[in-house]
Structure 1
Amino acid sequence: KLSILSAIRLAGLPYTLIDIGVWYQVFIPRLPSGRTDHARMPYIDDRIVGDGAQPFALTDLRDVGAYVAQIVGDPRTLNRRVFVYTEVLSMNEMWEVMERVSGEEPERGYEVIESCRQRLEASSEPLTHPSNIADVATFNMGQYRISWCIREDSTPKYANYLGYLDIWDLFPAFPRGKSLRQFYAEVVWGQSAGV
């Protein structure tokens, strides 16, 4: 992504780079009743990473279009980077939201950071063999999980440090997208399918 942005800048082309929080659809806790199984991504490891206390930005995938349209239509975002999110929660908080919505205690599996790193190291040539989808998925999700859940790279504070504009500073009156609570309620009651 950074090499593409560098090429755009070197060519003098106008741009707006938009970084969007993690999709709600990625982390749907498993319930003992199975009421979330229809929406869960089968290849996504949804165990809580580390102690689960690190916050990260979250967004409903279905709200991305409205956010992007608002951002690209504003001249203040030209040649700038914008950080987009609806909520900032930790994995523990996400599981608590599911428990409140469903009335069930979600399964809480934990992944220690060392096992995440070991999976990355065991992944055979993930970047040079794109036909090996399992390794690519393992490698990419491992990198994301460390970034989001350990290093806290996906937070408004870190985005501000990197020079991003915050969507809510730019557009305080713009309607926020669906809350995680609303999304989980849709999943639990069968009104929302997975990705």
Structure 2
Amino acid sequence: METKSKVLIVGATGHLGKRLVRASLDQGHETYVLQRPEIGVDIEKVQRLLSFKKLGAHLVTGSFNDHKSLVEAVKKVDVVISIVSGELHPTSHKLLLQLKLVEAIKEAGNVKRFLPSEFGTDPSRMADAMEPGRVTFDDKMVVRKAIEDAGIPFTYVSANCFAGIFVGGLCQIGSILPSRDSVVLFGDGNQKSIFVDEDDVAAYTIKTIDDPRTLNKTLYIRPPANILSQREVMGLWEKLIGKELQKSSLSEQEFLDSLKDKEFVLKAVMTHFYHFFFEGCLENFEIGDDAEEACNLYPDVKYTTVEDYLKQYL
């Protein structure tokens, strides 16, 4: 019988973290969740942690401010998955908290795979990204360097656009529900992006942890049916609701001009949209020998198509 890895998930109460916990348990892994004292009186997070316990996960106390506690938590498992939020703030670099996790993994010496908090655009391809959004990519690359310098076995996961954020809002900035009236196209709306249901991201991610084919590689999640343009996503929604949306278009220059007076967080988000929907950065390259494609490796995962994802909003 195949031996399953023991998994520690750091950041389990978040949007993707809770899905990783469920996927790990569903795939038969003994699953540990880091319970950080910093959670304070956040009742929603506490209740989520308790729900993981009911599902069979183990809660283990540890803090980024207590190196010894992190080492002890890491020693309980074979695999560590971090899903620390990359909070967009001019002075906050929460992703760099993972450097403390790298030090704990290095000292523990027992971890056979570390998956750092990436799960979006491959940061190694974003060296020319615009400020201020590029801070996310830069911080992820700092963490990558620390992992590789420490000789820690890794898998990086590039999951592209989360469906809940991009499909739900028809790729509109500041919206996560599909309009039944009007939409704004970025340019001609024909640049391809890649959209992935967050539950599918979790399922593919957990598949990698005992797979030698993904060791020290990047896993790209690129469901073929979900490589679509903004215009195509809107077209699927129009077909479902039986109505054509009123469309306007924002040119590249108009979009760039609109960035000038935006506050930091919104400006950072908009620069990401620029790279996705004007430059097509998610789909305009071939993956190399140091990477694998999730749908090819794991055809047994029946991913959710964009069209099926949109049906829940009817």
User: Same fold, TM exceeding 0.5?
Assistant: yes
Find 1:115's aligned residue among 234, 247, 254.
Answer: 254
Say which structure, 1 or 2, has more relative contact order (CA 8 Å, 6+ apart).
1
Q: Distance in 1 between matches of 2:213 and 2:234?
A: 37
Q: Distance in 2 between matches of 1:51 and 1:152?
A: 12
Find 2:230's aligned residue among 55, 68, 91.
Answer: 91
Number of positions where the alignment pairs a residue of Structure 1 with one of Structure 2: 165
Q: Distance in 2 between matches of 1:28 and 1:47?
A: 14
**What is the identity, as a one-letter code, of the residue corresponding to 1:139?**
K
Deviation at 1:149, TM superposition (A): 1.0
Q: Does 1:136 align with 2:264?
A: yes
**Where does residue 65 of structure 1 map in the other structure?**
202
**Where does residue 183 of structure 1 map in the other structure?**
309
Does the C-alpha gap of structure 1 residues 107 and 21 become closer, same or farther in structure 2, counting only changes over 3 Å?
farther
SS at structure 2 position matched to 1:183: helix
Contact (CA 8 Å) 2:191, 2:229: kept in 1 or not?
A: yes
Find 1:147's aligned residue among 275, 281, 290.
Answer: 275
Does the C-alpha gap of structure 1 residues 141 and 27 become closer, same or farther in structure 2, counting only changes over 3 Å?
farther
Deviation at 1:81, TM superposition (A): 0.7
Q: Distance in 2 between matches of 1:161 and 1:75?
A: 17
Q: Does 1:165 align with 2:292?
A: yes
Q: Does 1:8 align with 2:147?
A: yes
Q: Distance in 2 between matches of 1:23 and 1:83?
A: 13
**Where does residue 28 of structure 1 map in the other structure?**
168
Contact (CA 8 Å) 1:119, 1:138: kept in 2 or not?
A: no
**Where does residue 89 of structure 2 map in the other structure?**
none
Q: Deviations over 1:151-188 (max 9, x none)?
A: 21112x525159532112322x2223111111111111
Deviation at 1:102, TM superposition (A): 1.2
Contact (CA 8 Å) 1:98, 1:106: kept in 2 or not?
A: no
SS at structure 2 position matched to 1:96: helix
Identity %: 18
**Structure 1 ranges of 4+ moved more than 4 A:** none
Larger Rg: 2
User: How well do the aligned residues superpose, as a CA RMSD in angstroms?
Assistant: 2.5
Contact (CA 8 Å) 2:167, 2:195: kept in 1 or not?
A: no
Does the C-alpha gap of structure 1 residues 76 and 2 become closer, same or farther in structure 2, counting only changes over 3 Å?
same
Query: Which TM-score applies when normalising by structure 1?
Result: 0.74
- Structure 1 unaligned segments of length 5 or more: list them: 31-37, 124-134, 189-195
Find 1:81's aligned residue among 215, 218, 238.
Answer: 218
Q: Distance in 2 between matches of 1:39 and 1:49?
A: 17
- Structure 2 unaligned segments of length 5 or more: list them: 1-139
**What is the identity, as a one-letter code, of the residue corresponding to 1:170?**
L
Does the C-alpha gap of structure 1 residues 184 and 84 become closer, same or farther in structure 2, counting only changes over 3 Å?
same
**Where does residue 73 of structure 2 map in the other structure?**
none
